[in-house]
């Protein structure tokens, strides 16, 4: 076998490239969300970069010949109107991800959505963790760099004869340990599966049972380019989920502000002293408008805030008399609450008066209204506190990070 059988390790002719890091590797500037890194041999880097770019385009539903223009968000490139986050009628967040356990034809993957039924805070925490792992010093990036060190170390040892047929088993054991420490022994990503397979094949005899360093170096060179691609791709993942987290944080702050406004307006109502029925009616109508503005289902979209907002609106003011509006609110409440709870709640409202009205014919006492509003203040207050606590769980979760493999490659 000749050197021409090692295409991944050549610049063009028959001159082999040393896969070890350059003494002073030249920086290679790249555009877009990919990691700015210098990983040694330039040709391997550029080839891996192109693979990572093409992969990112596929995962953003972008095809080179589609003619779809890019939409630039910071240094991220996404196609216009691409759905990254979906919120269902019950307020549950669904974030897109890609099923990568099985490689699809032509590298395509099943596009799926991961639901976060615990609420928007759990979705934000999930995004934060993905971002953390894919930062330059993050667990995923550092583990990949550790594997990159492994492939280059093995390549050098096969080249200088340090690995021979007699001591091959001890290198197999060492490689398995490094892969296990890096959580890459059984990776889900097809590209990482391929890289790990090539590393392990490099430590096996060839198809006719010979110890074959040339075959091993070829396998390691091919694994090297795939690991470089994965390191580059962590930059895309980090930026993508940073963007999704920012969208969710913005939505969360908006909805919490609406709930806080309801609490503030309710406190103002409870603090007023009314001298006439007319004044009371006007104040109640104004407060109902505030509730309708800030607690409307189109305003509060996400769990855990959507349910309490709708419940507070119905609990305080009842279902509207207007048939269309009534049908709408009944449907929304049915989506949010179990049938048993909805029926029980509806019956209670019907007993007390379906629609709150201070007119003499449908008088509900001011004391009863204030009692309802006090309960709503308490209910929304607890919901806001629970939301803060759920987001704060992130800071406890990051106190026990998984160990990462050590690497000499700097990102």
pLDDT above 90 covers what percent of the chain?
28
Cβ atoms of 19 and 9 within 8 Å: the answer is yes
pLDDT score for 136: 86
Provide the pLDDT confidence category of residue 287 given band limits of 50, 70 and 90. very high
Choice between 166 and 85, residue whose per-residue pLDDT is larger: 166
**Burial of 172 (C-beta count, 10 Å sphere; 0-12/13-18/19+):** middle
Choice between 132 and 328, residue whose per-residue pLDDT is larger: 132
Using DSSP's 3-state secondary structure scheme, residue 35 falls into: coil
Mean pLDDT, range 247-259, rounded to an integer:
93
Cβ atoms of 139 and 404 within 8 Å: the answer is yes
pLDDT above 70 covers what percent of the chain?
68
Residue 343's CB: how many other CB atoms inside 10 A? 12
What angle, rounded to 10 degrees, do the helices at 213-270 and 139-159 form?
170
pLDDT score for 110: 53
Which phi and psi angles does 194 have, rounded to 5°?
A: -65, -45
In this predicted structure, the answer to whether residue 179 has a pLDDT above a threshold of 80 is yes
Which phi and psi angles does 71 have, rounded to 5°?
A: -110, 115
Provide the pLDDT confidence category of residue 274 given band limits of 50, 70 and 90. confident
- The residues facing 97 across adjacent strands are 112
Q: Tokens standing for 213? A: 């360093």
pLDDT score for 83: 60
Choice between 357 and 188, residue whose per-residue pLDDT is larger: 188
pLDDT score for 315: 81
Cβ atoms of 309 and 316 within 8 Å: the answer is no
In this predicted structure, the answer to whether residue 196 has a pLDDT above a threshold of 80 is yes
Choice between 88 and 8, residue whose per-residue pLDDT is larger: 88
DSSP letters for 217-251: HHHHHHHHHHHHHHHHHHHHHHHHHHHHHHHHHHH
pLDDT score for 324: 78
**Tokens 């040694």 sit on residue:** 40
Spatial separation of the C-alpha atoms in residues 322 and 353, rounded to whole Å: 15
Listed ranges 22-31, 55-64, 322-331; the one with the highest mean pLDDT = 322-331
Q: Average pLDDT over the chain, rounded to whole?
A: 74
Mean pLDDT, range 122-138, rounded to an integer:
92
pLDDT score for 342: 55
Which CA distances in Å does 294 have to 48, 254, 326?
Answer: 50, 10, 18
Residue 150's CB: how many other CB atoms inside 10 A? 23
- Domain boundaries in the chain? 3-66+121-239, 272-397
- 328-368 pLDDT tens trace: 877 787 777 655 545 555 555 555 444 444 444 444 678 88
pLDDT score for 361: 42
What element of type H or E holds 379? helix 366-397
Provide the pLDDT confidence category of residue 121 given band limits of 50, 70 and 90. very high
In this predicted structure, the answer to whether residue 4 has a pLDDT above a threshold of 60 is no
Listed ranges 44-58, 66-80, 226-240, 370-384; the one with the highest mean pLDDT = 370-384
Provide the pLDDT confidence category of residue 164 given band limits of 50, 70 and 90. very high
- 48-101 pLDDT tens trace: 767 776 776 666 554 343 343 444 444 444 444 446 788 888 889 988 765 443
pLDDT score for 197: 92
Cβ atoms of 9 and 221 within 8 Å: the answer is yes
User: Any idea which of 87-91, 164-168, 180-184, 335-339 has the lowest mean pLDDT?
Assistant: 335-339
């Amino acid at each position: 076998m000749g050197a021409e059988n090692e295409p991944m390790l050549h610049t063009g002719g028959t001159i082999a490239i040393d896969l070890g890091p350059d003494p002073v590797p030249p920086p290679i500037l790249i555009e877009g969300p990919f990691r700015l890194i210098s990983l040694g041999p330039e040709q391997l880097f550029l080839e891996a970069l192109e693979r990572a770019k093409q992969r990112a385009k596929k995962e953003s539903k972008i095809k080179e010949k589609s003619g779809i223009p890019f939409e630039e968000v910071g240094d991220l490139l996404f196609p216009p109107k691409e759905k990254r986050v979906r919120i269902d009628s019950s307020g549950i967040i669904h974030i897109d991800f890609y099923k990568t356990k099985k490689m699809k034809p032509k590298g395509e993957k099943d596009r799926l959505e991961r639901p976060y039924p615990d609420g928007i805070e759990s979705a934000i925490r999930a995004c934060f963790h993905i971002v953390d792992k894919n930062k330059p010093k993050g667990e995923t990036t550092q583990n990949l760099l550790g594997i990159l060190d492994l492939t280059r170390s093995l390549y050098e040892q096969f080249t200088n004869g340090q690995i021979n047929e007699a001591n091959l088993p001890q290198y197999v054991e060492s490689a398995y340990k490094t892969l296990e420490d890096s959580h890459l022994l059984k990776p889900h990503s097809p590209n990482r599966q391929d890289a790990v397979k090539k590393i392990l094949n490099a430590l096996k005899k060839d198809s006719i049972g010979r110890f074959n360093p040339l075959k091993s170096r070829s396998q390691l060179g091919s694994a090297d380019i795939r690991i470089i691609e994965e390191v580059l791709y962590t930059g895309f993942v980090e930026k993508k989920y940073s963007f999704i987290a920012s969208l969710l944080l913005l939505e969360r702050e908006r909805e919490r502000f609406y709930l806080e406004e309801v609490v503030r307006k309710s406190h103002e109502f409870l603090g007023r002293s009314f001298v006439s029925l007319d004044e009371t009616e006007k104040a109640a109508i104004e407060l109902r408008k505030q509730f309708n503005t800030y607690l409307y289902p189109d305003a509060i979209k996400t769990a855990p805030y959507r349910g309490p907002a709708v419940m507070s609106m119905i609990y305080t003011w009842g279902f509207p008399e207007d048939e269309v509006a009534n049908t709408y609110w009944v449907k929304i409440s049915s989506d949010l609450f179990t049938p048993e709870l909805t029926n029980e709640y509806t019956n209670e409202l019907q007993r007390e008066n379906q629609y709150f009205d201070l007119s003499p014919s449908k008088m509900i006492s001011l004391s009863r209204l204030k009692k309802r509003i006090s309960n709503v203040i308490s209910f929304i207050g607890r919901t806001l506190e629970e939301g803060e606590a759920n987001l704060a769980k992130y800071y406890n979760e990051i106190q026990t990070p998984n160990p990462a493999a050590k690497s000499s490659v700097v990102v």
